[in-house]
Chain A
């Protein structure tokens, strides 16, 4: 029997992306630079998060023309972002044939209470999470891939580190709990019980877990990999730097060779200016993207 868009096929594509770097791009030319550097996928956007942050106002799904041109330019998978809860933007992205949808806090949320019912779609979804409960809620809704939220568009890795450490330590905690404590843990983290049981038994999420939000250097990428993530999203970090092609290549290689400090030292040499960074405490609470969604 042939089964299209099964759970295995949705989570399977994320498995294939592991150990790779997914890069934000806004034009076909940038997409080609990313592919040439060895990106395992690209995220098609109208503006990178740093520019969205600077522009203010309401950030929405990209114009389909932008997404289609990027899909035509490269052979690697193309992802695109829909607003949290905006299931019609997701329907449009599915109709365009994108390979993955990011229900993303980088865009202005369309619904303050509910995320998209992602099981309804044939196209798989990735969602951001700051902790294990949030990750499991998104998986419960049908996300086939999880990433940290970090704080997008800042070039500051501190929030991604916080989120990855939180998820990993909460996973470790579940694996040491006796069974009778799991329901209370599920209640406390507001996560589906069956997924809490899965994590307690397997010591990992049931889907792939990437790092995102603030990664700007090869060292940042390797740091996140050593903390236990499966791969890397780089948003503004590449095309807001002075030498995107070289930096993109260096981040790709650092993600593969994350445990080889000699290699990382070589890769970090002479990359030109990184993107200008933002200190998290200077961002007004209302402008923190990671607090969007629940």
Chain B
């Protein structure tokens, strides 16, 4: 059975996530407003500008609906700006956040664009070669509560985490050919038969 995954398409690299998900056989819905969330079984919040995306999540109970879905168990995956928007605390910022990850993140933590980079990362539980990770004006997790599982670090900085049904990367797996992170996320979507009730 095809999973129906929403990709938040307010601003940012939503097209790339769509392409990866479709390659993996998922059905993709572009989510631009609250109504588009109906019937999806998972949601990806892409990279982009976290302030620009946050401004739109603040409107019309859009973000609140995402939070309700997450609390009911709907898997949510944020990349880069998505990680910032998921984090409960954002260093030196009062911007909007969904507050679903018990973390403190630092924005533009590696510096401005001229410091953006690619690197190979070992990821907990991933078989085979290291994961090529693309960091663009990327954040990282400064502090994570014990319930947050750390899946990867780059030079001691936390860049890949999971807390229950919430997954987040500081880097952009949608910009490389390696689909393991998206496969990992799709495995977090419960089989329809096993689900007691509609979570999303």
Contacts and interface: CB of A to CB of B under 8 A. Distances in A.
Interface of A: 1-6, 8-9, 12-13, 15-20, 35-41, 75-77, 94, 97-100, 122-124, 252-253, 255-257, 260
Given A38-B52, A99-B112, A8 B175 contact: yes
B81 interface: yes
A181 to B, nearest CB: 28
B75 to A, nearest CB: 23
B9 A77 contact: no
Contacts, number: 124
Nearest to B49: A40
Contacts of A97: 112, 114
B199 interface: no
A13 B118 contact: no
B113 A123 contact: yes
A18 B113 contact: no
B52 A9 contact: no
Given A5-B117, A13-B116, A97-B114, 19 more contacts: A1-B120, A2-B119, A3-B118, A4-B115, A4-B117, A9-B113, A9-B135, A12-B134, A15-B16, A16-B137, A18-B12, A38-B55, A40-B12, A76-B49, A94-B114, A99-B112, A252-B55, A256-B56, A260-B32
Given A20-B52, A124-B113, A3 B119 contact: yes
A3 B16 contact: no
Q: 10 closest Cβ contacts across the A-B interface?
A: A99-B113, A38-B55, A9-B116, A2-B119, A40-B49, A19-B11, A20-B11, A15-B13, A4-B117, A38-B52
A16 B49 contact: yes
B81 A9 contact: no
B51 A16 contact: no
B114 A12 contact: no
A16 B114 contact: no
Contact of A13 (B32, B56, B117, B136): B136
A75 B107 contact: yes
Contacts of A4: 114-117
B136 A16 contact: yes
B105 interface: no
Contacts of A99: 112-114, 137
Contacts of A8: 118, 134, 175-176
B182 to A, nearest CB: 16
B108 interface: yes
Nearest to A258: B32
30 contacts: A2-B117, A2-B119, A4-B115, A5-B114, A5-B116, A9-B134, A9-B135, A12-B13, A12-B116, A12-B136, A16-B12, A17-B48, A18-B12, A19-B12, A35-B51, A38-B52, A39-B49, A41-B49, A75-B51, A75-B93, A75-B108, A76-B52, A77-B137, A97-B112, A97-B114, A99-B113, A123-B114, A124-B113, A257-B33, A260-B32
Nearest to A4: B117
A40 B48 CA distance: 8
B15 interface: yes
Nearest to A3: B118
Interface in B19-33: 32-33
Contacts of A255: 11
B89 interface: no
A16 B81 contact: yes
Nearest to B81: A16
Interface in B146-171: none
Contacts of A35: 51
A16 B108 CA distance: 14
Contacts of B81: 16
Interface string B55-68: 11000000000000
Contacts of A38: 11, 51-52, 55-56
B136 A9 contact: yes
A16 B48 contact: yes
B177 to A, nearest CB: 11
